[in-house]
Structure 1
Amino acid sequence: MKFRVERDVLAEAVAWTAKSLPARPQAPVLAGLMLSAAGEELVISGFDYEVSSRSQLAAQVEQEGTVLVSGKLLADIAKALPNRPVEFSTDGSKVQLVCGSSRFTLQTMPVDEYPALPQMPKAAGSIAANTFAAAVAQVAVAAGKDDTLPFLTGVRVEISGDTLRLVATDRYRLAVREILWKPETPELDAVALVPARTLHEIARSLTGGEWVTLALSGTDKDEAGQGLIGIEAAGKRTTTRLLEGEFIKYNSIFPSEFAGEAVIDTAALIEAVKRVALVAERNTPVRLAFSTGQVTLEAGTGDEARASETMDAVFEGEDISLAFNPGYLLEGLSALDAPFTQLSYTTSTKPAVLTGRPAVDAEPDPAYRYLVMPIRLTG
């Protein structure tokens, strides 16, 4: 095998593909990247039986072939190379890499021991890359981190015609985001449960192109967890296995009506929560006491450090005090991406819902909803 490729193109493709490599591979070959040169292109791929990644780039191929080398080592080398064309060539069981005056010799791994990458599922539709990445980030914050409950560590992807809905929950908060997309068929109806961490990393890494294509298999509503999701954009392609397990009936968790609501400047509220939370010990809440025209934030109790801050809020109704985990509250506020936050509530012990408003007197945007459970106050 012998080929030449531009250094920047190579470094970016290797770095992206190597992100999916496992930290503790089941077998040594799974720590490798496969380089296949043919025609006028180079394909770099990696696979760990759960996530596969494949990057395709232009190359001047003199001799076709395939090699498997250490992915981390190749990524470190490619990042450090001078800005000159890079030449690869094989020499028995070794690969020679030359870039300007820099020369490296890498040991190859047995190609025949490397697993075949899964086939890309059938394309389901496409969506603007930046829109998809932002939507995934908004819901991924609510996904669980406990691997003993794998179905809570995923993002539920629901497709109904031209509507794509993303949902995640860890039982203490719930995030739902709805966006329009371009389905391959207007009547498409499917659901998939995707590992949240993997989906977030993939979506964030594919914002270089204009559009992202989603491909699904085994995603009928009675077959969730039996297939793959594939995501492709700008010469990069990745697949990941779907999670198994029945997702919660989340629609029934949202209150059908609210007793009241408050509208607050989002940025100001975020900063106030951060300041007051400095004295909140582990697992202790930040309390929000609402009264006409204002909200007072408090944290700390008894003889411990205490903090309070009062700020303007559009609020009318009976005074009420709500208490929240400050981390959960901050993640929800940050995910809103709106100038103003509407906090809707029923009672101090039932779920509250955050939605964004473009202006104080505007209607809330229902496309993103973040439900958070309050903490019951004692005494």
Structure 2
Amino acid sequence: MVFKFIKSQLIEVIEWTDDSTDTIVYRFPVKGNEIKMGAQLTVRESQTAVFVNEGQIADIFGPGRYKLSTENMPVLTKLKAWKYGFNSPFKAEVYFVNTKQFTNQKWGTSNPIMMRDPEFGMVRFRAFGIFSFKVEEPAVFLKEIFGTNRVFDTESIVSHLKRSLVSGIADLISESKIPVLDLAMHYNELGEAATEALQPRFSQLGLKLVSLFIENISLPEEVEKVLDKRTSMGVIGNMQQYTQYQTAEAIRDAAQNQGGGLAGAGVGLGAGVGIGQVMSQAFNQNMQSTPQPQGNEVTKVPCPKCGADNLPQAKFCSQCGTSMDIQKTKCIHCSVPIEKEAKFCPQCGKPQKLNCGNCGIELNPGAKFCPECGTKI
């Protein structure tokens, strides 16, 4: 007993080496919370020490070594406190606050969130990601959150922070009015905007929201299936041709059925009729989509160089080999499209060459001033 009493009256050396990854606040254990006069306090980097003397925050210490001043004199104060059962009324505590970043804190929506999409109408979505935070105001954090707890870790507050994050992010996404299909390209922008918008909520608790990342925003499974079908339809292209192809494939497979007897003969006969109908429809549609000449006459196209008649689909003249693609230009007077080599416009009849009204020199099309005398055209 005497040895324990003497040991408890020695001046303390107060320090904390964090051996965990999630402890935010640690109260240094001193018997009876009676820190002695002259106690040595060592605060390390990424730590802040909050010194509470007689129930009030007396000081906040950053990294370094300090000497504490209290009313508890070794041995003497203990002996004078006989009327309190040798329990000193001068209480003092030191709380170590971990000021490092607490990273990889996961958040996510527990229930789907409704939003109005300009393309799909009302849709539900889920979102999840990670965030990191740190203690920025130890005194505010002590008063608002951890109080006089001996140990306070991330698990004690992260659930509250997650709910605050989810409500803010859901509100931000809904107000952004970004279409559902375009949300993926705005993850970084939404994360930065959410970090700035939610910072006041963290500041009220003495915390700082360092970063927030959106990893994914997903739609319900049934909506994703519909989107997959729409994507498939876009890849297919012409649905009518695809349907005809699928029908022909199915009829061919039925015709190749190895079943014997009348049933097999009936299937083969039906397959033949079906194939004939499909091919007939496809042929008729192609004929309707392709322009046909009237009667038995085929309109000939003259060669732009030698004047020989050629078929409409000919790309080169059958006589001289000149390209049948007649290059066009515009009349310099009325802007009607004409052949590039035309000397007169078939619409207004005016020549396609300009001469300067002052000196008579021939001008290039589009010239605004004469290159010889400088007269304005």
Q: Report TM bin, short chain.
A: under 0.3
Q: Which structure has the highest strand share of the two? A: 1
Q: Which structure has the highest helix share of the two? A: 2
Flag the structure with more relative contact order, 1 or 2, with Cα contacts below 8 A and sequence separation at least 6: 1
TM-score (norm 2): 0.19
Indicate the structure (1 or 2) with the bigger Cα radius of gyration: 2
